[in-house]
Each structure stands twice: as structure tokens, then as C-alpha cells.
Chains A and B, each alone.
Chain A
Amino acid sequence: MNPKADLLQGTLDLLILKTLALEPMHGWGISQRIQQMSQDVLQVQQGSLYPALHRLERRDWIDAEWGDSDNNRKAKFYRLTRAGRKQLEVETSNWVRLSAAVRQIVETA
């Protein structure tokens, strides 16, 4: 199996928002995209993905819409809302700060 890394608490939300910032996508697509972009380091478990999607939807950071997928199958597509875009900025800057801080500690100590 691929080398996996545990997702830090709360980072899944950031990854989902970031993925959706590019284009609307269904759940399967999101999980595949995260896996691809992380070069198979991050694998999102369905068990966490769907509750997270519903959570974000409930906070109005993403919208959902049923649309046609390939070969005419119905799929639920998620799209970033205006509030979601703002939240993405907040979480991105948080993440940058946090990762910079962690790196500093890890590399100097």
C-alpha cells in the first residue's frame, strides 16, 4: 500500500476547501484529487470524507448540487461558496503560519 500520513485534526477541511477552489467536484473526485496532488501520501478515508463534507455544507462553506457525471450517472457535486472562499483564506494563512512554526522547531532543534 501507499505510504500514508495521518491527517492533522482540521486539515481535512482545508484540503477539501482547497480542492473545491479549483472547480466543483463530487466526493469521489475530491478524494482522488487529494490523493493525486499529495502524490499518494494523503489518502482520505470515506469514513471521514463524507461527514466532513456534510459538516462544511452545514456551515455554508460549500454548496451541493446533483449533476451528471461521466456516462450520465447522477452525482452530488460540491462547490465553494463565498463564505467558503473566505474561510479558505483564513485556514490557508493559519496553516502557513502553523507549518512554518513547526518547521522552525523541527529544523533548529
Chain B
Amino acid sequence: MITRKLRSLLRKRRADQELDAELQFHLEKQVEANIARGMPPSEARAAALCLFGGVEQMKEECRDVRGMALLDTLAQDIRYGLRMMWRSPAFTAVAVLSLGLGIGANTAIFSLINVVMLKNLPVKNPEQLVVINWAAKQFPDISHNGSTWGRPPGPFSGSSLSYPAFRQMQSQNQVLSDMFGFADMEQTNVVVGGHAEIARGQLASGNYFSGLGVEPVAGRTFTAEDDQPGAAPVAVISFRYWEGRFGRDVSVIGKTATVNGVPFVIAGVTPPEFFGLAPGECPDIWVPLSMQPRVLPQWGGKALSLLGVPGEWWVEPWGRLKPGVTPQQATAALSLALRQLVTAELAPGPEQIPSIELRAGDKGLRDLRAEFSRPLFILMSVVGLVLLIACANVANLLLARAAARRKETAVRMALGAGRQRLIRQLLTESFLLAAVGGALGFAVASRGGELLLYLASSTEGPPVLDVHPDARVLAFCTAISLLTGLVFGLAPALRATRLDVSPVLKAGLGGGSGSSRWMLGKALVAVQVALSLLVLLGASMFVRSLQKLNSIDLGFKRENLLLFGVDGTLSGYKDEGLGSLYQRIQERLRAIPGVRSVSLSRHSLVGDGSSQSGMDIPGYRKRPSERLVVYRNSVGPDFFETMGIPILLGRGITDRDNQTAPKVVVINEALAHRYFPNESPLGKRLAWHEKDAEVVGVAGNAKYYDLRQEVQPTVFEPYLQFGIGRMVFALRTLADPASIVRDVRVAIASVDRNLPLYNVRTQVQQINSALIQERFFAELTSCFGGLALLLASIGLYGVMSYTVAGRTGEIGIRMALGAAKADITGMVLREVFLLMTAGLGIGLPVALLCMRLIHKQLYGLNVSDPLSIAVAIGVLTLVTGLAGYLPARRASRIDPMAALRQE
């Protein structure tokens, strides 16, 4: 390497020497010829030189022609550029830092886009994978677990099949080389070595891993035999779970893990890059699909095996297309099979017959993508703007430096350096800056990706995504670094080399003519101000929107509430036993010092799901085709007291409302208002699913499912009377709820040590978690807004400083003629405000137009929210004003005598 470099260097030196000798020879010949023509020797030499023209220029041309010149000059340029960077560390630091932050922010957001939207699943030939969904004009008479969605008035769709249908299609289809399926188990109780913990479980068919082509890193994955009824129970765990719970201990293979009370032998571990099929949600443990009756005996409140029931649809099927089979052919074949199965077993109406819809499976399930594609696009635009501002900054710095180097440039041009050559040199310097900035940006992004995930985390922790930069992210980072190098480097390079040599050389110091040179710099600053306004306005809108969401009247008290889930069904409790378990837990929790009251409910409030069902109110006269649908929640004693919801009429739910007592419900104000407008609802009856209950109380309106939604008619029923499953406990505490978590764990363990509590959080955390996207936006855009502001301020400060420095003489004269300090400050500040006004003038209309694009992301705000606009303009004016004031003050302190002497 070094010898090669040396040799090329030597070769180059020799070539240059030869050229010199050759030209020398020519010159001497010319002199001889002149003498021969009768000129005196001294004159002969001068004439020959004159005839010769620009020697250096010709040499340069010869070097260019030699071709290797390009590489040589590149090396030369880079060396020179590095020297320049080294020699002005402040300049380099500001430029590299601006670029590093700008490029880093872009790369970090891009790495999220990459992992959420672009990356393929890390499995064998992902392009062959298809997600098997179905659609029907009318929803069939089935119970469906999985994602369903209806697009009124369009068809209803579903993502799962019944177990018998899945098995039949799996064994009989001719279009898929593999058809495999899975079902989410949500919270799963996994006991290993006497220690109970909640994990994310999934049921998977025996060919799930082999069909995907996922090879184990330890042990083995499932075989078809594992998924036969009566097979020995084996489980597969994910790499993350292996690492987190077992410290990558290989001896865990063959050990027993008790899943929801059933012992499984751990057979193997999936590879680290495999995160399941839905980006963001990595299962911890997989068990065979046919184990459903044992590990999930109470699916959706029903205690039964779903394996033989054609009306229970819960297996989510995927497939791998056979080579040569088109998706259309597969769709037709699978639709036919499904139609035959459904017609034979469910006797559907003609509108209820489903047909198959295949979706590409190469990038996994799309829920996360659908949710985040728009936010990520908006964030990408924001960081793009920040990068533009950074570019403008560096361009400005380069312009300023080019001004300082005018003399150098002029000398080089006078000596025969071509303009192209100089532009190349300056661009090389820009690219060097961009490269260093890009490297810094890549480092920022490598850490930043995880920070972003952390910001996006819910109460269950950050989404499980692998945001480590891959080749695509690296390519993106390189590309935008090069692009920024060109963007900020080109204009200054062109400008610096477009100069008339002789006046510059004559003008001694090379300072000289002022105003026009700064027009470009000032224009850049105005653009920076405009772009910053855009980012700041976005940020203030998102912050205001979040504030509005946070100040929504919830109807209950969010402070000092601790929430956590307990699911006794996973530890084998059922019916009466389950009820008394929860009652005992409630008793123990009440005894903890610092706890004011304790309750429990099926869903906690805001961001924990909801139940809904149809209902009848005897005596209520329905409008034609009106269907009464109400929200429901099963709650325990003291629910309203604990949550801080007022009882307006009658009473709340108490300990006495148990299985043996008459069935009662409490309704909320919204329900009372809508269905009992002119009478007291107390003593009225509500009926659903052959049950009916008496209304004993009316509670105040409180937010239930969604923060933004108006409070809907809701029925609260005693959990002991209306079916029990997993419950969320709520503790109203005197002090910080986090301080009693230990006591809570001890209390629960004293009831049953195999009973894990999961998802421990405060009510405030849960609400924040429901506002995760809004918070994410508000935090990130505020960060980026601050960054934009900082960069723009540096830009303005730099330009004004140079302007002031360039006008030292003029200011000196003004002061000598009697201008006061205030006059000088005012003069400079006027210019600052002119720049700012120009920037705001361009920025505001553009910003307002852009806000229309994000109005869907805003809550309760007009796109031209005056307060947001005022805040954005105010902050921008204040900070950039300060940045402009510093040079103004410096101008006012110029010593007129010194200034004049300098001139």
C-alpha cells in the first residue's frame, strides 16, 4: 500500500521533471533561433519567453492530459482539504456538527422507516410468502379472533380461519408449498424454576418454522409430529427471551417451562434476527397449535376446545406460493376450498360466503406500518428541513471562508490554475466536510434509533424492533452525505472562482467590495429563518395538541392510581374459585399502608381496550332499524370510589353484589341521558343475552376506551355476576403509587406465589401510553425545532458578524462623524430584522400551507391556530434577534480611531 503510493508519487515527480526538461529544451532552442536571427541574447530570451505564454498553465494542461492527473489531483485535493479543515478547527467543528446532527437525524428516522416499512422478514425467500385473509359482503355467523375490519358499506374481512378449515386447506391445497398458521395468546404465564412471569405467547402449527425457513440457533424447532394431538408438549423460545430470561444458557434446552399450568419441554431457540411476523411484537414463546385446549382452556371466556368447532375462527393462516403459481390462481383455488368448507358446515347466507384475499407477506403483518407510515413520513420531512437548514449554514460558512480566501484564489488563478480545477478543489473540501459529518451522523443514528424506540415505548416497554443500521441505512446515509456536500458546496465554489483576478490582487488585503457579495449569504439566512419557522410551527402545533389532549376532562382522577393485570385463569382458577381469588387479593391489597382504596375491572380506563354489546331496554321505543349498542365494563366493589367517578344517583357496586345477589348494574350519565331522558333510571331494567339486571345507580361520565371520543352510553356490571376472566386491579394511593409496587407483589405472592402480575403501570403512564404517537411527535418535533433554531441562529450570527467585520471602516467613519453607539447598534439590528422579516414573510404562508398536511395528526386545533403561530414567531424572533444582537453590540464597540487606521 505504502510502496504503491510512494511509487506513484515518484512517477509523478519524474513526469513533472521530464516535462520541465522538455520545455526547457524548447525554450533554449527558441532562444538560439532568435539569436540566429540577429537578436541580442538578452532580448532573445525575453522574446522566447513571451512567445511561450503561460508555462504553468501549459504544464497543468499536460498533467490533465496525462490522465492519471485526475487521481493525483484528487489525492492532492484531499490532502489540501484536510489541511484546511485542520487549520480552522472552529469552522470545521461548526460545519461538521451541523451536518452530523442533520444527517444523523435523517438517518435515524430513515432507519425506523427501513425497519417498519422496507425491510423484508428475515426468512427464506420472503417474496413467496402470502398472508391469507378473507372477505365477505356480510359477516358470517362465526366468532372471530384475530384482526377483523369492515369498511362500510364494503365487505367484511377477517384474518383467521377455524381449526378444521385450516387443517383441511393445509392438507388439500395444490397451490401452496407450505401453509402454516398461528394464533396470539396475549399474556401467557410462564413458570420456570418456580418463578412465574408473564410472557408473550403464540400458538404455532408444526410447520410454522420450517415453512418460514427459520433455522434454530440452539436445539430444534417444531416438527409436524409435535403438533399431533397427544404428542409430548414442546415449546420454542425466541432469542430475545432466551437472552433476557435465561442469559443465553444453552442448558435451558430440555428444561421444563410451565405454560399456563401445562409443563412444556423447551426444544429450541429461534435466531436473533427473527422477531415473528408482526414488526414490533416479538413473541417470547411458541407452543404447538394443537395444544390450545390445554394452554388456553378459556378462550374469550368460553371454556372449551376450539379444535373441532367450525364456528370458532382463530387460526391466522400464511402460505408460501408454489413456484409457478400466480397469486390469482392461488386465490381462486383457496377461495373454492373455503367456500365448500363454509357451505358444508355453517349454512351461510349467500352474502356471508367468504372468498380468499391474498396479501404479500414479505414484509410481515402490516399493522405497525399502517399506523406509522404517515407519522414517519411527516418526521422524515421535518428532519429533511433541518438538514436543509444545516446545509444553508455550511454554505454560508463556506461563502465567508471563500471571501477570506479571495486573495489565495486570485493568486492561484493568476498562476494558471483552471477554474474547473479550483471548483474541483473546493468541492473536494465540501465533500470532505460532508463525509466527516456523515460519519458523525451515522454514529448519532446508531444510538438515535434506540432512543427513538425508547421514546415510542408503551407501558409494556419499547416496540421490539431491530433498528441496528443495515446496508440500506448505510447507503442512505452515504447518499445524503454526498448530496448535502453537493448542495452546500456547489454555489460557494462557483461563486468563489468567478472573480476578476487583477482588482483582487491590487486591493491589497483582499477584503474589498461589500454588499453584493453578502446577498447570497443573506438570502440563505432568510431561507433558514423561513424553514425554521416551518419546523417550529409544526412543533408548537404538536405540543399544543398534546396539551389539549392532556387537559381533557377525563371524568375521573388520574393521579395516584396504580394499575396492574392479574389473570387467575392462566394458573388454573375458574368460576367460583376465580372470584374468591380476586376477592382475597382485594382484601390483602386494602391492608397495604398508604392504599386508600382498591378495585378491579375488566378494562382499566383509557387505552386498555373496551367491551361492547347489543342491549335491550324494555319500554324504550326504538326508532325503526335502531340497534342499541352500549359499552360495557365488568367492575369490582369500590370501582367508582377508587377511580374518583362521582355517583349522581343511587349507589355504586359493593361487596354485596356477588353471584348469589340479584343482578344489578350502574349506568353512566350518557346512557341515562339518551335512553331515560325524562325519568329516573333507578329501578329500570336492562337486558342482553337472556340476562337482565336492575339499574341501581347512575355514575358521572368518564372517558373509557378512547381519550378523544365523546363519552358513550356505558353499563358497569359487577364482575362476580357477569363472567370473570383476567382483571386489572386499580389502587388509589396516598403518595407516589410507584413506591408501593414491592408491597403489592408481596401481597399477591402471599395469596398464590404462582400468580404473576403483569403490565404494572400508573394511570398517568397508561394515558401517556395511549398518547404515544402525539407525545412522540411533540417531543421529536420540539427537538428538531430547537435544532433548526440553533442552526439558523448560528447562520444569522455568522453572516452579521462578517458584515460587521467587513464594514469596520465605514462604522469607524460614522462614529468619527458623531454617530452614537445606539445608532450603530440600531443600524445593524435594522438589517437583522429586515432579514428576519423577509424570512418570516416567505416562511409563514408556506408553513400555513404545510400545516394542512398534518391537520389529521392534531387534536382540537385549527390549522391556523393563532397561539401556535404566535409562539413559533415569538420564539424565532427572540432567539434569532439575540443572535443578531451580539454582532450589533460588537459593531457599537468599534474604536473609531483603530478602524480608521486600519483603513
Q: Is the CB of A47 within 8 A of B53?
A: yes
- A27 at interface, CB cutoff 8 A: yes
Per DSSP, chain B at the interface is: helix
Q: What's the least CB distance linking A13 to chain B, in Å? A: 12
Total interface residues in chain B, CB < 8 Å = 22
Q: Knowing A28-B30, A45-B53, A51-B61 are in contact, say whether A76-B67 is a contact too (CB < 8 A).
A: no
Cα distance A28–B23 in the bound complex, in angstroms: 9
Whether the Cβ atoms of B65 and A46 lie closer than 8 Å is no
**8 Å CB contact of A26 from B25, B53, B64, B65:** B25
Known contacts A46-B51, A46-B53, A58-B65; decide if A51 and B58 are in contact (CB<8 Å): yes
Digitize B3-30: 1 where CB-to-A-CB distance is under 8 Å, 0 elsewhere.
Answer: 0000000000000001101110110111
> Residue of A at shortest CB range from B61?
A51
B25/A76 in contact, CB under 8 A: yes
Check B37 for interface membership: any CB of A closer than 8 A: no
Whether a CB of chain A sits under 8 angstroms from the CB of B573 is no
A66 and B53 CA atoms in complex are apart in Å by 25
B52 interfacial contact with A, CB 8 Å = yes
Chain A residue contacts of B21, Cβ below 8 A = 74, 76
Complex CA gap A51/B25 in Å reads: 16
Q: How far is the CA of A55 from the CA of B64 in the complex (A)?
A: 9
Measured CB to CB, the nearest residue on chain B to A73 is B25
Contact between A46 and B52, CB atoms less than 8 A apart: yes
A95 close to B (CB within 8 Å): no
- Compute how far the CA of A87 lies from the CA of B59 in the bound complex, rounded to whole angstroms: 26
- Verify A46–B66 contact, CB threshold 8 A: no
Which of A31, A45, A50 is within 8 Å of B23, CB to CB?
Answer: A50
- Asked if B583 lies at the interface with its beta carbon under 8 angstroms from chain A, I say no
Scan A39-83; emit 1 where CB is below 8 A from any B CB, else 0.
000000111001100110010000000100100011110000000
Residues of B within 8 A of A47 (CB): 52-54, 57-58, 61
In the bound complex, how far is the Cα of B61 from the Cα of A66, in angstroms?
A: 21
Given contacts A46-B53, A58-B66, A76-B18, contact A28 B25 (CB under 8 A): yes
Least distance between B26 CB and chain A CB atoms (Å): 5
- Between B22, B23, B30, B51, the greatest number of chain A beta carbons within 10 A of the residue's beta carbon is seen for B22
**Beta-carbon contacts under 8 Å, B854-878 to A:** none
Interface size on A, residues (CB 8 A): 18
Total contacts A-B at CB 8 Å: 54
Chain A min CB distance to B333 (Å): 65
* Chain A residues whose CB sits within 8 angstroms of the CB of B66 once the complex forms: 54, 58
The docked-state distance in angstroms from the alpha carbon of A63 to that of B25 is: 18
Bound complex: CA A69 to CA B28 (Å): 12
- Nearest-neighbor residue (CB-CB) of B53 within chain A: A47
Closest CB of chain B to A54's CB: distance in Å?
4
Q: Measured between alpha carbons, how far is A76 from B26 in the docked complex, in Å?
A: 10
In the complex, what distance in Å separates the CA atom of A21 from the CA atom of B835?
68
Contacts of B820 in A (CB 8 A): none
Whether A28 contacts B58 by the Cβ 8 Å rule is no
A50–B53 contact, CB under 8 A? no
A75 contacts across to B, CB distance below 8 A: 22, 25
* List of B residues within 8 angstroms of A58 by Cβ: 65-67
Q: Does B741 contact A (CB under 8 A)?
A: no
CA of A51 to CA of B64, assembled, Å = 9
**Across-interface contacts of A26 in B (CB, < 8 A):** 22, 25
The residue of chain B having its C-beta at the shortest distance from the C-beta of A75 within the complex is: B25
Contact between A54 and B65, CB atoms less than 8 A apart: yes
Question: Which residues of chain A are near B54, meaning CB under 8 Å?
Answer: 47
**Closest CB of chain B to A45's CB: distance in Å?**
7
A66 — which chain B residues lie within 8 A by C-beta?
18
Q: How far apart are B20's CB and chain A's nearest CB, in angstroms?
A: 11
Residues of A within 8 A of B303 (CB): none
B332 within 8 A of A: no
Report which residue of B21, B23, B26, B67 has the largest number of chain A beta carbons within 10 angstroms of its beta carbon: B26
A74 touching B61, Cβ below 8 Å: no
Q: In the complex, A75 Cα to B25 Cα: how many Å?
A: 7
- Name which of B28, B58, B64, B65 has the most chain A CB atoms within 10 A of its CB: B65
What residues of chain B lie closer than 8 Å to A74, measured between beta carbons?
A: 21, 25
Chain A residues with Cβ under 8 A from B53's Cβ?
45-47
CB contacts (< 8 Å) of A54 on chain B: these are 62, 65-66
* Contact call B58/A46, Cβ cutoff below 8 A: yes
A28 touches B26 (CB 8 A): yes
**What CA separation (Å) do A26 and B26 show in the bound complex?**
9
Q: A50 touches which one: B22, B28, B29, B30 (CB < 8 A)? A: B22
List 6 other contacts, CB 8 Å, given A46-B23, A51-B62: A28-B25, A46-B58, A47-B58, A58-B66, A74-B25, A76-B22
8 closest cross-chain pairs (CB), A and B: A28-B29, A51-B61, A54-B65, A55-B65, A47-B53, A76-B22, A54-B62, A28-B26
Would you list 12 pairs from A and B whose C-beta atoms are within 8 A, ordered by A residue?
A26-B25, A46-B23, A47-B54, A47-B58, A50-B23, A50-B26, A51-B58, A55-B65, A58-B66, A66-B18, A76-B18, A76-B25
A-to-B contact residues, CB < 8 Å = 26-28, 31, 45-47, 50-51, 54-55, 58, 66, 69, 73-76
